[in-house]
Amino acid sequence: MPARWKQDFPVPSGEDSYVTRREFTKFLGLTSLAFLIGTCAAATRKLAKQFFRRDETSVAVAGIQEIPVGGHKLFRYPTENDPCILLRLAEDKFVAFDQRCTHLSCPVLFDAAKKQLACPCHEGFFSAEDGRPLAGPPKRPLAQLLVTTQNAQVLVSQREVQSA
Amino acid sequence: MNPGMQRRRRMNVVLQMVTTLITAILLGQLWLFTVTLEAMENPAASMSVATAAAICSVVACGSVWVLIRFFLNTEQTETGERS
């Protein structure tokens, strides 16, 4: 038998959780708006990244004779928080990449014998030629820097922008 | 069944159809969001991918709001009341 107070003061619990059609459609509309804001924010960030990258100038990171063929040098570019790796693959071929693995940002290491960059954390492998992922969890290529040589110096500049 | 109840049931069916359509659009927007995040993280990705995804998301959001307005207007016309 229900308590006496429930009879005297009935609580309309069904109405308490009742959602009107207008409220429901409003929820759907706001969800869509949230997705739109997120997408626009990400697109704006991408745009800002590319815009500011254009201002980055070339910097000398090593002398040509400093790195033997099959050797490498670590440097930081464009800020102290951006570790990069410069590789000498042939007498006249230098390539440079962001050293952070595109999986979970562990530093990649150069394996000259296999001409690969290896991520020791989760065994991800990248081609030393162009940074494309070869094996393991990484799905995206390493960010590549533009490398030029001038006056016996190796210069790096903005990241190469390739079409996806 | 009285006419008022019939109208109400008809509006529930319309709401289900609109909800299904909106859910499909929302899933599309979720996918566009992930595509844009991927483009943001990947320096090699083209800017046009992120731009196209943002434009499609604007269109999708507009469609959702148009569908909602359509449903609410239809409901008000049919039942003469605001739910």
The pLDDT tens digits of the residues spanning B11-21 come to 888 888 988 99
Whether the complex's predicted ipTM surpasses the cut of 0.90:
no
A97 lies in the same domain as A19: no
- Asked whether residue A3 is domain-assigned, the answer is no
Range of the domain at A149: 59-159
A25 lies in the same domain as A101: no
**Touching check for B17 and chain A: CB below 8 Å?**
no
- Asked whether residue A164 is domain-assigned, the answer is no
**Touching check for B14 and chain A: CB below 8 Å?**
no
Residues of A in contact with B61 (CB under 8 A): 32-33, 35-36
Convert chain B into a string of H (helix), E (strand) and C (coil): CCHHHHHHHHHHHHHHHHHHHHHHHHHHHHHHHHHHHHHHHCCCCCHHHHHHHHHHHHHHHHHHHHHHHHHHHHHHHHHCCCC
- Is this prediction's pTM over 0.90? no
In tens, the pLDDT along A4-51 reads 887 788 777 777 778 888 888 899 999 999 999 999 999 999 888 877
Domain total of chain B: 1
A23 lies in the same domain as A81: no
**Touching check for B64 and chain A: CB below 8 Å?**
yes
Domain total of chain A: 2
A92 lies in the same domain as A40: no
A34 lies in the same domain as A94: no
- Cβ separation of B29 and A36 shorter than 8 Å? yes
Is the pLDDT confidence value at A148 over 60?
Answer: yes
In tens, the pLDDT along B29-48 reads 999 999 999 888 777 778 89
Is the pLDDT confidence value at A142 over 80?
Answer: yes
- Asked whether residue A85 is domain-assigned, the answer is yes
**Touching check for B20 and chain A: CB below 8 Å?**
no
- Asked whether residue A8 is domain-assigned, the answer is no
- A69 or A8, higher pLDDT: A69
- Asked whether residue A108 is domain-assigned, the answer is yes
- B79 or A84, higher pLDDT: A84
